[in-house]
Amino acid sequence: MQSVEVNGSIANDTREQEGRLTPHWVLLLMTLTYTSSFMDRTILSILQNPIKQELHLSDTQLGLLGGFAFALFYSTLGIPVARLAERMDRRQLIAASLVIWSVATAASGLAVGFVSLFLFRVAVGVGEAGASPPAHSLITDFFPPLKRGTAFSMYSLGVPAGVLIGSVLGGYAAQQFGWRVTFAIFGLPGVVLALLIPMTIREPARGRLDTGQPSEQQAPAFSAVLKQFAERPALRYCVMGASVAAFAAYSILTFSAPFFIRTYQASLPEAGWFLGMTGGVSAGIGIFFSGMLTDRLARRDRRWAVWAPAIGLLLAAPLYVAGFLAPTKAAAMAILLVPPALQYIYLGPTMGLMHNMVTPRMRATATALLYLSVNLFGMGLGPTVTGLLSDRFAAAQFSRLLPESHYDLQCPGGLAEPNATEALNMACASAAAYGIRWALIVTTLALVVSAMLYLRAARTLRKDLL
């Protein structure tokens, strides 16, 4: 059988033809994998209140569970996994990762306190570290450069899809079966995907659609990837912009459901539906259209790939503030349906740009570096800082309501003890609602900083593209 060389990679004709016939199937499976990962992240947000009350956790601890516990290992392990992805079968890496995080999610229902739940969330982060870098690299070998913004917008739909499924089904399952069984239910889909990926996808030749880029027989050194970031200011500012946007995004995702439960006395299913509509449907609309829109506008001026995210982020910030300050549940839901569609415009274009600013065998590593920054700063710090702010704002409000009192001692898990007075019950509930509201408002201001960073990237973008 005849062999052909494409960008320094050897691939036989049959595999090349099969690869050309299957890009949308590959994209679907990668998107479902991304969806599974966000289902397993979102479910913790929906289950926060019952977990908080049963295990007597603070918002700071919840922030650590939703952020730092996951992000530390997810981010740092992404780099060694990405180096493996530059050299070995990417399908097998993704499948193994799916099994690890799915089992860890199911096992989270066995937690007996903060430490055990923290360790299970660490295991989820370890598993998910192995998925995105090889998935990004795989997608670029099925879609040409000018279609990658659209492809990565489709892939990024895994975020809202995972949030929607995790929120709606998670809220219903928690109401019916409790938070422990819900974790077990959500661990199952990833195992099915782990079987499908290596069975139905062939490993393609690397860089086969990048005819204008230099060929690479072997993966470049890690220092060469860092040099690409050092020499391209637009790439650095896009990474910083995405990281700051993620700081707000993960905070809002983690604490939106508790905000509605505490502020408007929403039930778990109601909070799940709300989070599904905002983080799922609304965000999905923004992600879906952003890639196609920016790919089209970029044919006229490549800077639209950063201008559009900046505009969306600037418009989203004041809408979030207005929504968190809304006097009624209906008003808050109506207002907060809009900003996610604007906020998440940055996802697809950022990923597409990054892959167009590095060479084919650098892409998994570049993805890992992007995720290192986005997840350590955004996911790691965002929910943790927001939880800390919530506790501090709540304690200050509690002291105003009941002078000479102590929120942490008298409101364990955000609630007064069962035999407490009505005044204490009301003060605990009011302080918890006040704390989460103002913590989210402060966090939202990060979106403005992110927009400024994207605008800065526009200055050198055209020069920095390969």
pLDDT of residue 201: 84
Q: Would 4 be classed as within a structural domain? A: no
Q: Would 3 be classed as within a structural domain? A: no
Q: Would 214 be classed as within a structural domain? A: no
Q: How many CB atoms lie within 10 A of CB 331?
A: 14
Question: Which tens digits make up the pLDDT trace of 181-201?
Answer: 999 999 888 888 999 898 888
Query: Span 219-237, mean pLDDT?
Result: 81
- Rounded Cα distance between 339 and 289, Å, is 15
Question: Which tens digits make up the pLDDT trace of 255-265?
Answer: 888 899 889 98
State which residues form the domain around 300: 11-203+221-464
Residue 252 has pLDDT above 60, yes or no: yes
Residue 145 near residue 351 (C-beta atoms within 8 A) = no
Query: Span 298-306, mean pLDDT?
Result: 80
Confidence of residue 359 (pLDDT cuts 50, 70, 90): confident
Residue 61 has pLDDT above 50, yes or no: yes
pLDDT of residue 445: 93
Confidence of residue 214 (pLDDT cuts 50, 70, 90): low
φ/ψ of residue 89, rounded to 5: -65, 115
Which letter, b or e, does each residue of 36-66 get, where b requires 16 or more Cβ atoms within 10 Å of its Cβ?
Answer: bbbbbbbbbbbbbbbbbeebebbbbbbbbbb
- Rounded Cα distance between 251 and 259, Å, is 11
Average pLDDT in the chain: 82
Question: Which tens digits make up the pLDDT trace of 95-154?
Answer: 988 999 899 999 988 888 889 998 888 888 888 877 877 888 888 888 877 777 778 778
Residue 80 has pLDDT above 90, yes or no: no
Residue 216 has pLDDT above 70, yes or no: no
Q: Would 210 be classed as within a structural domain? A: no
Number of domains in the chain: 1
Q: Would 38 be classed as within a structural domain? A: yes
Measuring CA to CA, how many Å separate 198 from each of 93, 191, 322?
Answer: 10, 12, 47
Q: Would 375 be classed as within a structural domain? A: yes
Query: Span 81-95, mean pLDDT?
Result: 79
Residue 432 has pLDDT above 50, yes or no: yes
3-state secondary structure 36-65: HHHHHHHHHHHCHHHHHHHHCCCHHHHHHH
Range of lowest pLDDT (8-12, 102-106, 166-170, 174-178): 8-12
Residue 213 has pLDDT above 60, yes or no: no
Residue 290 belongs to a domain with what CATH number? 1.20.1250.20
pLDDT of residue 17: 40
pLDDT of residue 126: 81
pLDDT of residue 209: 63
Q: Would 242 be classed as within a structural domain? A: yes
Measuring CA to CA, how many Å separate 310 from each of 229, 247, 378?
Answer: 21, 15, 17
Q: Would 143 be classed as within a structural domain? A: yes
Residue 19 has pLDDT above 60, yes or no: no
